[in-house]
Amino acid sequence: MSYNTKELIKNAYRITSQRGFTALRIRVPGGHLEASYLGLIQDIARRYGNGTVHLTTRQGFEIPGIPLDKVPEVNRLLAPLLEKEAALGVPIENFQAGYPAAGTRNVTACIGSRVCPFANFDTIALAQKIESLIYPNHYHVKIAITGCPNDCIKAHLQDIGIIGQVEPEYDPGRCIACQACVKNCRQFIVGALEMDNYQVQRDGKRCLGCGECILQCPMAAWTRGPRYYRIVALGRTGKKSPRLAATFLEWIDEKAVLQVIANLYRYIDRHIDRSLPKEHVGYIVDRTGYQVFKEELLEGVDLGPKGRVARELPFYGYSYDRNLYMEG
C-alpha cells in the first residue's frame, strides 16, 4: 500500500487506528447546514464508510471506515459541499478533488441569534464570512464564534474566540427603577450597574456588553446600541500547557475583527518554525512573545473610539505540573 499521508491529511482525511482505512472530515462553517446535505453524508457513510458518522467537537461530520483506495471516488462525491463553500466565497479550484486544506479548522459557532435570545448577533453568518476569509489554508488555526459571554461554543479554548457584544443604551425617561437589570447584572454577570437616585448608572469599563440588561428591562429603557466584538486569544488544550484564552481586544467592530484575523495569518507566515512538521499558533506566540503578536495583529487595524487592547495576556489558573498539588 502506498499513500502519501501528508497529502491525505491536507485533503481532510485522517490516518486512523485501522490500517488501510481513513476517516473524512466534513466542514460545516458555523455548524449550520441545510438538512438536504445529510442525504449525501449518509450516502458516503453507507457506501464507503462503516455506516456510522461521528459528530466532531468542531461541528463537522467525521465519516470513519473509508478504504484508502476509495478516496478519489469519495472526493468526487463531495462536489456539492465544495460548491456550498464556493458560494460562501471560498476559492475552490477543483470541485472533484475533495477538500483543498484541513490545517485551518472548521470555524465553529454557537447557534446565535437565529435561535438563542441571548445572542447579540448572527454568529453563523459571521462564521461563514470568516470561512471565506481564511479557507483554504494549511496553518493550524482554530476559530470559534459565540453570541454572548455565556460562550456556549467554548471560544475560550480556541486560538481566536469571538464574542458578541452590544452597547446598552439607557433612556432614564423610561426607567421605572424596578431594579431588574441591576439585580441581574450583580447576581449573574459582572455587577456593572448601580441604582443611584432612582437612576441606573453603568460602569462602562466593567460592563461585558452581554446585553442582559436589555433583555431584562420591561420598559425598553435599555435598548440595543451599536454591536461590537470581544476577541479572546490563545486558548488551547493539548499535552503541553493547556489554558483558557484571555481577552485580547474588546469593543471593536466587525471590520476590525476580520482585519485582525487576516493579520494573524500574516503573523504565522512570518514566524512559524518551518523545520517542524507543523507548529500551532499558540506555541509561536510562546516564542515571539505577546508584544510582537499584538503589534503585528493590530497592523492597520482601526480599533474605533471604544476599542481596548490588552497590555498583557494573563494566562493562569491551570497547570500540568501536578506534583505541585497532587498527594503522594
Partner 1 sequence: MGYKLTPAGFGALLDELATNYQIFGPVRYAGKGRLAGTDLTTYGPVRSVSDLVWDARTTFAPKEVFFPVKESLLYFSGQEITEPSLEMKETLVFLRACDLNAVSRLDKIFLANGPEPDSYYARRRQHIHFVLMECQEGFPGCFCVSMGTNMATGHQAALRLENDHYLLQALAEPWIALGERYGQPARVEPVWVEKNPLTVRVPERVDIALFQHELWREYACRCIACGRCTLSCPTCSCFSVQDVIYRDNPERGERRRVWASCQIDGFTDMAGGHQVRADRGDRIRFKVLHKIYDFRRRFGINMCVGCGRCEEVCPEYISFARCVNTLNQLMEVQGRDA
- 217 in contact with ligand SF4 (CB under 6 A): yes
**CA nearest to 135, candidates 86, 206, 183:** 86
Look up residue 266 and give its three cell numbers. 500574516
Specify the amino acid at residue 249: L
- 187 in contact with partner 1 (CB under 8 A): no
Look up residue 259 and give its three cell numbers. 482585519
- 157 in contact with ligand SF4 (CB under 6 A): no
**CA nearest to 124, candidates 33, 229, 209, 51:** 33
Residues 173-192 that bind ligand SF4 (CB under 6 A): 175-181, 185, 189-190, 192
Residues 146-175 that bind partner 1 (CB under 8 A): 147, 164, 166, 173-175
Binding residues for partner 1, rule CB under 8 A, total: 28
Of 207, 231, 256, 301, the residue at the interface with ligand SF4 (CB under 6 A) is 207
Look up residue 238 and give its three cell numbers. 493539548
One character per residue 112-131, x = contact with partner 1 (rule: CB under 8 A): -x---x-xxxx---------
Smallest separation (angstroms) from ligand SF4 to the CB of 4: 40
Give me the residue label for grid cell 500500500: 1
CA-CA distance, 148 to 130, in Å (whole number)? Answer: 18
Q: Is 164 helix (H, G, I), strand (E, B) or coil?
A: strand
Select from ligand SF4, partner 1, none the partner in contact with residue 132, using the beta carbon and a kind-dependent cut-off of 5 to 8 Å.
none
Smallest separation (angstroms) from ligand SF4 to the CB of 301: 24
Query: By C-beta, is 199 or 319 nearer to ligand SF4?
Result: 199
CA-CA distance, 237 to 319, in Å (whole number)? Answer: 12
Query: By C-beta, is 62 or 212 nearer to partner 1?
Result: 212
CA-CA distance, 166 to 156, in Å (whole number)? Answer: 19
